[in-house]
Structures are given as C-alpha cells and as structure tokens.
C-alpha cells in the first residue's frame, strides 16, 4: 500500500493534480471559480469596470442576492476591488485586480472549450440517453 501509483502515464498534463496537496489547492479554487456565477461575473468584469446593476443586467438571470454574494466572495479572495462613491444615489464600481485579471486567461480557456465542444457534448448526451432509454 506504499506505492500504488501507475507509472505508465508520465503525466500528459504539465502539472500533476493527483498529489494530495495539489488536490486541495485545486478544490479550493474550484469551489470559488466553479460556482454558478463566478466565471460569468469575472468574464464580464474582464471587459472593464462595472457597476452593480450593470453586471446584473449583463448576466440577465442572476438574482440580486447571488450577485452580492459572488462579488463579496471575489472581493474577499482579492480578485476584484469594490469602490464605493458616497453619492446619492450610491454608486459602487467593481473591477478586476491584477490577480483577477490573471484568472481571466485560464477561465477564457474553459470558455473557449465550452463553446467549441458544446455541440459535441449535447450530441453525446442525446446518444447516451437514447441508448439508456432503449436498454431499460
């Protein structure tokens, strides 16, 4: 039970994820990035500074509550800055930090993949469902 790793793979990807330490790191980031809204918000902010309701409308379907929570989380993790203008009515601007912008690159990779392979996924899904349906 000491060494049960397979040696065959020699790591196709440029950094192993199966080391426990890395697993935690990835899982942590994933629970931030992988939630329902983070990537969309970050992507929107990738186009420049935005006000609260601007983001809200640009995403269309996000609830006020979730946008607040998402932005709070991003702010907490140092990915966006929150600038309050003490005017009336109040105005709050959100903007990506350097760290936040650095996330834009890997995130856009996922986004690109998503758009390129969505059709393939939907197709596979239909085939799978059909097969399961007929088998049952």
Instruction: Count the neighbouring beta carbons within 10 Å of the beta carbon of residue 8.
Output: 5
Alpha-carbon distance of 64 to 56, in angstroms, equals 7
- Per-residue tokens: 98: 């350097």
Closest approach, Cβ 85 to DNA, in A, equals 9
| Closer by beta carbon to a copy of itself, 23 or else 64 | 23
| H-state helical runs in the chain | 20-33, 38-45, 52-59, 64-76, 98-135
> Is there binding between residue 65 and a copy of itself (CB under 8 A)?
no
Report the site for a copy of itself in 96-135 (rule: CB under 8 A).
99, 101-115, 117-118, 120-121, 123-125, 127-129
- Structural element, H or E, at residue 44: helix 38-45
Report the site for DNA in 98-117 (rule: CB under 7 A).
none
1 CB contacts (<8 Å, ≥6 apart)?
none
- Region from 39-47, 63-71, 87-95 binding a copy of itself, contact rule CB under 8 A: 39-47
From the list 2, 3, 47, 88, which residue makes contact with a copy of itself (rule: CB under 8 A)?
47
Compute how many residues bind DNA; rule: CB under 7 A: 24
> Is there binding between residue 90 and DNA (CB under 7 A)?
yes
> Is there binding between residue 91 and a copy of itself (CB under 8 A)?
no
Alpha-carbon distance of 116 to 132, in angstroms, equals 26
């Amino acid at each position: 039970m000491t060494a049960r790793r397979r040696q065959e793979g020699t790591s196709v990807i440029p950094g192993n994820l199966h080391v426990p330490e890395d697993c935690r790191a990835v899982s942590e980031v994933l629970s931030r990035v992988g939630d329902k809204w983070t990537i969309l918000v970050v992507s929107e902010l990738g186009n420049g500074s935005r006000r609260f309701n601007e983001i809200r409308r640009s995403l269309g379907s996000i609830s006020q509550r979730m946008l607040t929570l998402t932005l709070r989380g991003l702010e907490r993790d140092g990915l966006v800055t929150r600038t309050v203008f003490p005017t009336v009515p109040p105005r709050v601007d959100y903007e990506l930090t350097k760290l936040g912008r650095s996330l834009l690159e890997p995130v856009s990779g996922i986004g690109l993949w998503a758009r390129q392979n969505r059709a393939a996924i939907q197709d596979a899904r239909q085939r799978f469902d059909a097969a399961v349906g007929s088998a049952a």
